[in-house]
């Protein structure tokens, strides 16, 4: 894989799981990484320490991606410390407890879409303003985190999460068409059953183990396996790849 040369990358939700694995791998490939977090500064700082210990460049930066003012402040800090952005990984996201649609509240839906969809769109907007040649940028790459749930629907568990990730798929396609001629590539990765903390936050800590029999490869995936796909899409090795929805799901 072609190594980067200190170009700035923002990974939202970079303190744990897929985000943390992506931040560490990208740093090894030469990216200068901004590790975003909402509340868990200790986790983000640990990722930054690990990157710096390996000789990489990293900073942690707080922002709730659903809050426009916080997103603007975050991008301003990255501009000041790391320079013009060349990469964005829209990884920040949430699930909720298992429920049927007829048991869900509007408050739950608003949180789901505010963070998973509007947050990604806000960050992508600010990234395009920095990357696009239309705005004086040098180009760049955006990778959105979707989910195999966008294809499967997650019936009986979290249809609202699946719907939000379906919106991410559509957003990826539309934005890729919009900025493809301006040096900006936009792709999405759709992980399947991956061993991360997000399952416990939805009340199903054993979800991967319980469902891995449905996966053709007969196992859950690791965050590092998803990170490999993300970092490839960010890199110059994927220079002719845009508007792609890449499944990293063991065949599920």
pLDDT of residue 1: 35
User: b vs e for 189-200, b when ≥16 Cβ sit within 10 Å of the residue's Cβ?
Assistant: bbbbbbbbebbe
pLDDT of residue 204: 60
What mean pLDDT comes out for the span 103-129?
A: 98
Question: Residue 131 corresponds to which tokens in the numbers above?
Answer: 């990357």
**How many other C-beta atoms are found inside a 10 Å radius of the C-beta of residue 222?**
14
DSSP code of residue 238 = G
Banded pLDDT at 205 (limits 50, 70, 90): low
Closest CA to 81 of 185, 152, 9: 9
**Do residues 146 and 169 lie in contact, with contact meaning Cβ atoms separated by under 8 Å?**
yes
- 161 labelled catalytic: yes
Closest CA to 175 of 151, 150, 140, 206: 140
Say how far apart CA 57 and CA 46 lie, in whole Å. Answer: 13
pLDDT of residue 4: 45
Q: Which of 37, 158, 161, 240 is catalytic?
A: 161
What mean pLDDT comes out for the span 176-186?
A: 98
Q: What is the three-class DSSP state of 119?
A: helix
| pTM (predicted TM-score) | 0.93
> Average per-residue pLDDT in the chain?
93
**How many other C-beta atoms are found inside a 10 Å radius of the C-beta of residue 39?**
10
Q: Which CATH superfamily is domain 8-248 in?
A: NAD(P)-binding Rossmann-like Domain (3.40.50.720)
């Amino acid at each position: 894989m072609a190594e980067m040369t200190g170009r700035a990358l923002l990974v939202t939700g970079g303190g744990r799981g897929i985000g943390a694995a992506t931040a560490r791998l990208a740093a090894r490939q030469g990216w200068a990484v901004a590790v975003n977090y909402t509340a868990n500064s200790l986790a983000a700082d640990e990722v930054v320490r690990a990157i710096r210990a390996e000789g990489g460049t990293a900073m942690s930066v707080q922002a709730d991606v659903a809050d426009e003012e916080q997103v603007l402040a975050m991008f301003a800090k990255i501009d000041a410390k790391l320079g013009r952005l060349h990469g964005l990984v829209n990884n920040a996201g949430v699930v909720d407890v298992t429920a049927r649609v007829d048991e869900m509240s509007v408050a739950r839906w608003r949180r789901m879409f505010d963070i998973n969809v509007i947050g990604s769109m806000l960050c992508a907007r600010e990234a395009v303003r920095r990357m696009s040649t239309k705005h004086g940028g040098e180009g760049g790459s955006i990778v959105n985190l979707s989910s195999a749930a966008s294809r499967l629907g997650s019936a009986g568990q979290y249809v609202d999460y699946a719907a939000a990730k379906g919106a991410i798929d559509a957003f990826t396609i539309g934005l890729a068409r919009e900025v493809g001629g301006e040096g900006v590539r936009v792709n999405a990765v759709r992980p399947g059953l991956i061993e991360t903390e997000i399952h416990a936050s939805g009340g199903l800590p054993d979800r991967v183990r319980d469902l891995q029999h449905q996966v053709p490869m007969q196992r859950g995936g690791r965050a590092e396996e998803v990170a490999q796909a993300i970092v490839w899409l960010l890199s110059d090795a994927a220079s002719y790849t845009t508007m792609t929805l890449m499944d990293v799901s063991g065949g599920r």
